[in-house]
């Protein structure tokens, strides 16, 4: 697949491996992966519940001072809107399928991120998380 922009100039985002989380002790509702422009895969994207509503949390590492730093994130507002919209659409679709009883692909996980990412489909590539790397520009 070529890295071709869509009609509005943004890069195509394909969400894969949506894993719903059903645990009372966490605000994380789902984990998923995104393939961006057919060229880059981002694993460990989360949908998190907060008092202000659900939001998308990008993969991050915990720094020595206890703060979290995103390891990959969109640079432009258009890229952020495209990625976050695709993530939330995939999450809502998976939730709707689960509620309608058609949730065979909606795995309810009782574990954390490792468990959610451990049960992948044949399409899922092995994951490795570099500590630091160059920024991704979309």
pTM to 2 decimal places = 0.65
pLDDT of res. 127: 39
Average pLDDT per block of 10 residues along the chain, 138 residues long: 52 88 89 92 94 95 95 92 93 90 48 39 37 40
Q: Please tell me the distance from the alpha carbon of residue 45 to that of residue 21, in angstroms, as a whole number.
A: 13
Output the pLDDT for position 119. 37
Contact 22, 31 (CB under 8 A): no
Q: What is the pLDDT of residue 21?
A: 87
Can you give the pLDDT at residue 31?
A: 95
What is the architecture of the domain spanning 13-99? 2-Layer Sandwich (3.30)
d(CA 82, CA 99): 26
For the chain, the straight-line distance linking the first and the last C-alpha, in angstroms and rounded, comes to 16
Domain locations in the chain as residue ranges: 13-99
Give the three-state DSSP class for 62.
strand
Note the pLDDT of residue 99. 85
Residue located via tokens 């994130």: 73
């Amino acid at each position: 697949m070529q890295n071709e922009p869509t009609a509005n100039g943004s890069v195509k985002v394909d969400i894969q491996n949506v894993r719903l989380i059903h645990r009372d002790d966490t605000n994380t509702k789902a984990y998923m992966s995104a393939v961006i422009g057919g060229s880059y895969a981002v694993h460990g994207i989360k949908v998190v519940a907060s008092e202000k509503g659900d939001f998308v949390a990008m993969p991050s590492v915990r720094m020595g001072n206890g703060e979290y730093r995103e390891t990959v994130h969109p640079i432009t507002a258009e890229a952020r809107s495209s990625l976050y919209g695709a993530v939330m659409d995939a999450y809502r679709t998976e939730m709707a399928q689960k509620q309608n009883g058609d949730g065979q692909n909606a795995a309810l996980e009782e574990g954390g991120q490792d468990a959610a990412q451990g049960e992948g489909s044949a399409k899922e590539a092995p994951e490795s998380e570099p500590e630091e790397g160059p920024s991704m520009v979309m």
